[in-house]
Every structure is written in structure tokens, then in C-alpha cells.
Amino acid sequence: MRSTTEKRRLLREKLHSGQFLSAPGIFDMISARLADSMGAEALYMTGYGTVASYLGEPDAGLASYSDMVNRVAAFCRATQAPIICDADTGYGGLLNVAHTVRGYEAAGAAAIQLEDQEFPKKCGHTPGRRVIPAADMVRKLKVAVEARGDSGMLIVARTDSLSGLGVDEAIERGRRYAEAGADVLFIESPENVEQLQRIGQSFDVPVLVNVVEGGRTPQLSPQEFHKLGFALAIYPTAGFLAMTQALRGVYGAIGQGRGTLDVQDALYPFSQMCELMGFPAVWEFDRQHAE
């Protein structure tokens, strides 16, 4: 297993190498293990999916720091790939932000994402998001940089200002957040290719694009995003949308009295599931220690 230091170094190097990264969203331990086993070079811990799977609640500021840092630690222990971890607004004021950064760092995050929404936050690509003054977010980011140790954990600054205040304001906030020490910028919810192009070409630090199937941002290929100036695409919703669709089909068949005979193609092989979850190591341990 890679060390936390190595994971952070790899993510930083890849973001500055000119290579485009695509990070699938993970939301529980099965999705984390599966994405990691398929060779993902980076993973994204989605707030929406993690809150939904862990608490069964909407991503609307209901999850606490304790809820989320618990998930960060579990995901990071189980994976080789570096993980970008959603930390919402930092779960409070400036002291909370410092505490959150130190906690996520200790839990193994390769990058921590902080956003400029008012508390309680709302999920991106949904209506009614309101942002705090840019100066307040700058203070948060300066505290985050100060609280971070020498580990190399990246700070991702997200602004949700575009939907309500326009692309010019979002870009200006991005510039101020980079000056405050953000390593990566995340301008949420651009609504057309022209906005994407302006955002992708406006900054000297890496910029990510949030690809939400059915959301506000146009669905482009990784190659197209790269040409527009982005360094990274995150796909937070794809995994849990695919899972929910598959479960609906399988549970529907069971509920209709058909069993699972006609939905076998929707099922991951049980033998491979055992391998994914680490059972071979358990069986080998049992063999070694059998009386």
C-alpha cells in the first residue's frame, strides 16, 4: 500500500504534469475498492454520495465533521490512489476550518476541498445556493494553509458564486482564492462551453471541472475538457447513479416474484466480489493458523 506522503506527491505531480486526470466518485467502501482496483489515478470522495450512503440524507449541510472524517479515514486506508475529499464549508468558523484541515490531513486525504457557500450548504447543481463574501473565504483559505502541516496535502477551493453572481465574479473569486494559497480551483456549475473556456484559461493553478450527469454543466469528453484548459475532471455522481439504476432493476425483479434468474447480467460475480473485499487473505490466514 502506498504511503500517504507518496499519494499526495503523486497527485501534485500529475496535476502539474500536463496529463489530464479523470477521478471517479467514491461514496462507500465497495465503490472505493472497485474504483481503486481498476487503476484509477485519483479518486474523488463525493459529499452527495457519501452523505446519501452513510446517513441516508440529502447533501444539505446535515453531515458533521465527525461523520465525514470517519469516511475519509476508511476510504484512504483501503486504497492506493490519492483521494480528493469533500469538506463542505469546513464545518463552521475559522477555528473549525483549522480543525477540519488537520483532521482530514491525519486521516490521509491527498487533497481537501473547501467551498464558499453559506452554512448550511447545498449540493452543487441544485438551486438556492448562497455564498459568503469573498473576503471571508479568503480568510478561511489562509487559515487552511496555516493549519496544514508539511505533508503536501492539496487545498481545493470551490466557489458556488457563478450561478447567482455570474462568471466574472466566479473568476475573480478564483483568482483571489489562488492568491490566498489554494492549490487547485473548482468553479462550480458553468453552464455552457463559453463559460468553461473562460474558466479553464483564466488561472495559473490547476482547475477542475465537475461532471454531473443531468446537471448544469455540458457533458464533454475528457479530451475536450483538457483542450479548454482543465487539469482534472471529477465524476462524483456516476457511480451511485449507476448503482441505484442497477439495484432498481434487481430489486424490482425480486419484488415482482421473478427472483434474479433474468437479471444475472446486472450482477457482479460473487467470486470476484469476495476477491475485491479481501477474502483470499482471510482464507490464507485461516489455513496458516488452522489447528
> Could you read off the pLDDT of 55-76 as tens digits, one per residue?
999 988 899 999 999 999 999 9
Whole-angstrom distance, CA of residue 108 vs CA of residue 3 = 9
Contact indicator for 196, 162 with CB cutoff of 8 Å: no
DSSP string, the chain: ---HHHHHHHHHHHHTTT--EEEEEE-SHHHHHHHHHTT-S-EEE-HHHHHHHHHSS-SSS-S-HHHHHHHHHHHHHH-SS-EEEE-TT-SSSHHHHHHHHHHHHHHT-SEEEEE-BPSSP--TTSS---B--HHHHHHHHHHHHHH--SS--EEEEEE--HHHH-HHHHHHHHHHHHHTT-SEEEE----SHHHHHHHHTS-SS-EEEE--TTSSS----HHHHHHTT-SEEEETTHHHHHHHHHHHHHHHHHHTT-TTGGGGGGSPPHHHHHHHTTHHHHHHHHHHH--
Question: Average pLDDT of 107-117?
Answer: 97
- pLDDT at position 271 is 97
Whole-angstrom distance, CA of residue 54 vs CA of residue 98 = 24
**In the structure, what pLDDT confidence band is assigned to residue 287 with cuts at 50, 70 and 90?**
very high
Contact indicator for 113, 74 with CB cutoff of 8 Å: no
Domain spans of the chain, in order of start = 4-243
> Could you read off the pLDDT of 166-197 as tens digits, one per residue?
999 999 999 999 999 999 999 999 999 999 99
- pLDDT at position 291 is 64
> Could you read off the pLDDT of 231-267 as tens digits, one per residue?
999 999 999 999 999 999 999 999 999 999 999 999 9
> Could you read off the pLDDT of 139-162 as tens digits, one per residue?
999 999 999 997 799 999 999 999
Q: Is the confidence at residue 125, as pLDDT, over 70? A: no
Closest to 207 in 3D by CA, of 242, 174, 241, 246: 174
> Could you read off the pLDDT of 268-284 as tens digits, one per residue?
999 999 999 999 999 99
> Could you read off the pLDDT of 16-33 as tens digits, one per residue?
999 999 999 999 999 999
Question: Average pLDDT of 106-135?
Answer: 86
Q: Is the confidence at residue 290, as pLDDT, over 90? A: no
- pLDDT at position 126 is 63
Provide the CATH number for the domain formed by 4-243 in this structure.
3.20.20.60
**In the structure, what pLDDT confidence band is assigned to residue 1 with cuts at 50, 70 and 90?**
confident
Q: Is the confidence at residue 122, as pLDDT, over 80? A: no
- pLDDT at position 119 is 80
- pLDDT at position 150 is 76
